[in-house]
A and B are shown apart, each in its own frame.
Chain A
Amino acid sequence: MSSTYLPNGLPQPGTGPDGVSEPYWAGTREGKLRIQRCSACQSWQWGPEWICHRCHSFDIEWVEIEGRGVIYSYERPHHPVHPALNGHGPYLVVLVELPAHGKVRMLGNLLGDPLQEVVIGAAVEAVFEPHDDAEPPYTLVQWRRVG
């Protein structure tokens, strides 16, 4: 049984030359889920940007949060579009809304049976999924049902 939800061989996350998301990926390696909050107007923001879309402050901080949310939408891809997924079968992707943090949304896989029924509005929590053997190593944030 693989320790990761999807098989190895998929493209790996990176920050690229822009680098705006570097604190997020550094955080997940330490088991910390960090998203952006504007220091000037306190607005939560996700995904990462250099500027606050509301007040245009460049003073954006990375705040560690508790990874709890509700399923906002989902999909179950069947047709593989990457060789690493050939023969793997369907898998679940959820878009998770974080009510305590400005209703920002995060995306990940829903752990467990890929054929399970998915209910919009159901509560989920974040789970760290390290890919220690990758070069460079990285950690994804996944989601599982609670309650």
Chain B
Amino acid sequence: MSGLNELTIAAARDALRTGETTSADLTEACLAAIEGAGALNAFVHKTPEIARERAAAADKRLKAGDAPAMCGIPVGIKDLFCTKGVPSQAASNILKGFKPEYESTVSQQLADAGAVMLGKLNMDEFAMGSSNETSCYGNAVNPWRRGNEDAALTPGGSSGGSASAVAADLCLAATGTDTGGSIRQPAAFVGITGIKPTYGRCSRWGIVAFASSLDQAGPMTKDVRDAAIMLQAMCGHDPKDSTSADIPVPDFEAALTGDIRGKKIGIPREYRMDGMPDEIEKLWADGTAMLKDAGAEIVDISLPHTKYALPAYYVVAPAEASSNLARYDGVRYGHRAKLAQGDGITEMYEKTRAEGFGHEVQRRVMIGTYVLSAGFYDAYYNRARKVRALIKRDFETVFADGVDAILTPATPSAAFGLGEMADADPIAMYLNDVFTVTVNLAGLPGIAVPTGLDRQGLPLGLQLIGRPWEEGDLLNHAYVLERAAGFVSKPAKWW
């Protein structure tokens, strides 16, 4: 069988169960694809020995008839997840050489389900970025290009390596994490599906923390069914994460009925931004029409505090980051600066952190330090937390009015060129998260689905936002949108 690495999880699962293929074959196909895709810089730590070992074990389980859906499926793991004995650096020089003595709950659950880890995936340093350009490993590259141009484009961020790897068929699926849009924006930039579940669905234990009240893990996959299958394996209660929800996980794949008749879809007027490109405008209108044709009721809704989501996020997230990243002090793990004669412990901290953190991470840690400092805590941090409460209330109000899901664009543009934003101010980069960040602030589930191409031939995606804990219903809406849009384009292979 050729192109095993191009299979979806669902197709591979079925082929594995009928004995048409083996996990060993799937794994070799992916390892070969990874070897040939150095130009994408998606996999930054490869683990072929672990992959082959797990594939052999998965094939045994499959033969014995004890095979969960993810059994034997080759996946990539974002570098933010701690994986035992395998470098886990969060794409930062400050964690250079760090090999965890433990495994994150999510990657452990995937392993327990029989999934095969191929290696660790590139990302923005500490997940802070929207273009994968803040990584200590260098940029991950989008497999898509504009028309016949050969300019390298960003796969988005922070889960840029995950996005690039899935879109280029280097793995069947990958894990991502999403603090302000880091699963959904890259998924949209490379034409794949990415879901951020409700806050508390996936355990955060063993995932390098960025902003603990916003961080959630989720799958990045080739289609909606795969998102349902992989999310199922990733979530569930974990006593090691006190914010992990102790509620049952429903069968997400069974929720994909394709029937959304009578469902109410909200179109938030505040997401119609000034200067929105007409292509995005049209994509959104087309998506709305598709859901309407499927029998949903379309309603105009208002989320009045939308405009304040980005500034609130850029107070709350750096504040939490400055606290979380205080642990990188050169004492327990990772990098320690070489000290000069007479340097004390303060110099050790200051030099270590100056050498180990990249520019964007330093900036965010300092912003966070400032907004938490005496005299500014109320003016910035507390005010942002109040605005966050109002943003959440906006969503609660429309859900109480009977709205089942909300449709918005996933990103304000298609993928941009690597380096194109180098001279822009940080705010211009932050605007990438304008449609996604509200969802993190409110703790809601959100999914990006590819629905079209722009005039340069680059993928564009729409976002659906669901009610808390209703990922099944949300995935079903996404499934309807996916089928109606019929997005099947793949990047032409140049790497």
Q: Do A and B come from the same complex?
A: no
B interface residues, Cβ below 8 angstroms from A: none
